[in-house]
Structure 1
Amino acid sequence: MSKKKVLIVTQEMHPYTALTEVSQIARKLPQYIQENGMEIRVLMPRFGTINERRHRLHEVVRLSGMNIIVDDDDYPLIIKVASLPEARMQVYFLDNEDFFKRKHIFTDEDGKPFEDNPDRMVFFCKGVIETVKKFGWAPDVVHCHGWMTSLVPLYLKTAYKNEPLFQNAKVVYSAYAGSPEAAFSDAFAAKASINNLTEDDLQAYVSDGKVRLHEGAIAFADGVVLGSEAADEGVADAVSSADKPVLEYQGEEGFGSAYMEFYENLTEEEVEGK
């Protein structure tokens, strides 16, 4: 039997970014599942806070050179890679000077969310999918960690639904506490409507005139993980009404086996359904 392939898409990962719930899980989980027989790929943004020399990032020329369209503008996508020697694991970084060069991740020095966070999210989510297409690597599970990945479930189930590499992929979304969506403008839906999508396709991401990233991702995911002990407002309601598999909050220790079992159950449903 071939190894199951798991794509980890994360907005943060220790030691490349500061220690948070997201970065800690995104660091430990791929190593655990790789050591327990699954094949992995990890993709994250190359934020300007990441020291390329210290972490030995280098460009992957064969993967770079694409342009990603965001709000009718073209932005070059550069792919870099680094290895975690203690984990025998490679991490791929999506880079663009306009979106990721700054020395702060999601907010400025005064704690105010960047105005272009929606554009950065669209660039990253679409860039992830296009990069995996260049890999020519068909994942069995796509596991998205954090609000910045929240458009991946939508894109895989709509704009890329006929892409052969993702035909059998189960999409998992981990909802963690906190997101800057309150700062998103009314233009969010128009920006996020890539390819042949319309603003109507993003209705799950807007409720009562406000952007709800977690709720939209939950609507399009095949399975949901509660990544934080205290969920954001609306997440619990979205989970209960979605009627799909849910992995409850696992804490930061000993969670790996629960995640693997969750993956196995999701992919077994796919086999049984054929």
Structure 2
Amino acid sequence: MRVLFAASEAVPLVKTGGLADVVGALPKALAKRGVDVTVMLPKYGEISKDVTDRAVYLGYTFVQMGWRRQYCGVLEIIEDGIRYLLLDNEYYFNRGYLYGYGDEAERFTFFSFAVLDSLQVLSEMPDIIHCHDWQTGLIPMLLRTRYANRPGYRDIRTVFTVHNLKYQGVFPRELLQDLLSAGDDLFTEDKLEFYGAASCMKAGLRYADKLTTVSPTYAREIQTETYGEKLDGLLRERAADLYGIVNGIDTDEFDPMKDPHVPVPYRDSRAKKRQNKIALQQELGLQADGSVPVIGIVSRLVDQKGLDLVIEALPELMEENIQIVILGAGEPALEATLQEAVQRYPGRLAVWFGFNEGLARRIYAGSDIYLMPSKFEPCGLSQLIALRYRTVPIVRETGGLCDTVESFNEYTGTGNGFSFGPASAHDLLFTVRRALFFYRDENAWAKILANGAKRNYGWDNSAREYERLYRELAG
């Protein structure tokens, strides 16, 4: 069975967020189960020259997109045992960043056409095309309409995965009509039309054979008005085809015993973990004291991630004997507020603005508690990485956080972290204080850590579910 992943980013070639981690790790888990997986990406200028110099040129095609006829080269490279195909068009993809340009609609409409046209360059057709997020949402629609009668395309089935429903690829209707050379019949309420505009996400949700999202709880949440981002009606309509499959992490990549960014390798040794805490405190200018609990946050600094709750609770949080470390970038107002807070709490609060992979790993390794108070969270990988690094998560009860973090029950001894329901600073503060109470209880904390160590946070179970879905589709 041949499966083609179409995505806008993937580790280890190019990454801006969790999508890349998933698209990089899931194919490796599927390959272990005997699934033949190829990953297709744009050939961005950000992909390192070392990678592109090793890529093998397979051929080219021309993509007809409205009145535009654009070149598309196809290059192949094997990384970590997985075959990657890079689609080359310098006009669209040889830029300084992956996203954020005024012609995003044109760039990713081109990519959608190019994924399907480039199959003519290859020696085989896939059984399944697995599309990821809005950047590939047009592919199932094109396959069902424009390519339906072309030889070899009719039997291809599609899976469309929603990684975050908030980001939908909504563009002016007239623009997508031009790019797709499509008439009004494609832009009705039951197809691509979206409140007077047009939505690439909606195209994927409407036309793909099967839909998945990245946790069972999020699959239920997005069928409600609260979390459905105005697509909940369509998602309820397609509920029988919608599956929630929780993400995993690459446990080889995220391993505190082998992580080159971690000063002292460890697994379950609390003494060695404490050494990493002291090293982190020294690196970030905090008071070096192994007995003080450190709370870590690695996050985009945006409203979704609940950083406003942290800021609101900060004065009372800092009444506790704790230190807080934050790594991330995002909304200027949040950054400015955190910068002011650093001045108020010298030696106890450290904030690094931007992203630094090595520092992120050291925060996971050096923190005692990992705080993730998201307003909504489709799955979340950070809490899984924290658990892998034996750092106890505190999360809000939403999406994949519900499916992966069980709040500690002191009466039964179960639970691998702590959680709270309402998105309020009061509930966050109460839960942090509850976690600190058990942190001071050596036996209770050891039990929480042991519970977290029992679970496999890798991709094996999820890959099994995806394989079952593919085989059902492929007959």
What is the TM-score when the length of structure 1 is the normalising length? Answer: 0.83
1:69 to 49, 64, 68: 64
Structure 1 CA distance for aligned equivalents of residues 40 and 138 of structure 2? 15
Structure 2 CA distance for aligned equivalents of residues 269 and 121 of structure 1? 26
**1:264 paired residue number:** 468
Residues 95 and 55 (structure 1), Cα distance of their counterparts in 2 relative to 1, 3 Å cut: closer
Is 1:153–2:140 an aligned residue pair? yes
Deviations 1:48-73 (A, max 9, x none): 1111225644351x422x22122302
**2:210 paired residue number:** 223
Q: Is the CA contact 1:137–1:165 (under 8 Å) kept in the aligned structure 2? A: no
Is 1:239–2:235 an aligned residue pair? yes
Matches of residues 114-193 of structure 1 in structure 2 within 5 Å? 114-177=101-164, 178-179=166-167, 181-182=169-170, 184-193=171-180
1:38 to 32, 35, 38: 35
Structure 2 CA distance for aligned equivalents of residues 238 and 267 of structure 1? 25
Is 1:106–2:134 an aligned residue pair? no
| Matched residue SS, 1:268 | helix
Q: Is the CA contact 2:73–2:88 (under 8 Å) kept in the aligned structure 1? A: yes
1:29 Cα deviation from its structure 2 partner: 1.0
Pick which of 205-214 and 25-34 moved more: 205-214
| Matched residue SS, 2:117 | helix
Pick which of 141-150 and 165-174 moved more: 165-174
Structure 2 CA distance for aligned equivalents of residues 257 and 27 of structure 1? 16
Residues 211 and 34 (structure 1), Cα distance of their counterparts in 2 relative to 1, 3 Å cut: same
Structure 2 CA distance for aligned equivalents of residues 91 and 126 of structure 1? 18
- The alignment-based identity, stated in percent, is 18
Deviations 1:209-233 (A, max 9, x none): 1322222211100111113757561
RMSD: 2.4
Higher CA-based Rg? 2
Structure 2 residue identity aligned to 1:92: L
2:244 to 229, 244, 248: 248
**2:15 paired residue number:** 18
Q: Is the CA contact 2:64–2:70 (under 8 Å) kept in the aligned structure 1? A: yes
Structure 2 residue identity aligned to 1:233: E
Deviations 1:13-54 (A, max 9, x none): 012222522101100111111121111221011111111225
Residues 270 and 90 (structure 1), Cα distance of their counterparts in 2 relative to 1, 3 Å cut: closer
1:166 Cα deviation from its structure 2 partner: 2.7
Structure 1 CA distance for aligned equivalents of residues 467 and 75 of structure 2? 28
Which consecutive aligned stretches of 4+ in structure 1 deviate over 6 angstroms post-superposition? Answer: none
Structure 2 CA distance for aligned equivalents of residues 269 and 75 of structure 1? 33
Deviations 1:125-182 (A, max 9, x none): 1111111122131222110012111110001111111233232222000112243634
1:193 Cα deviation from its structure 2 partner: 2.0
| Matched residue SS, 2:173 | coil
5+ residue gaps, structure 1, are 108-113
Task: Flag the structure with more relative contact order, 1 or 2, with Cα contacts below 8 A and sequence separation at least 6.
Answer: 1
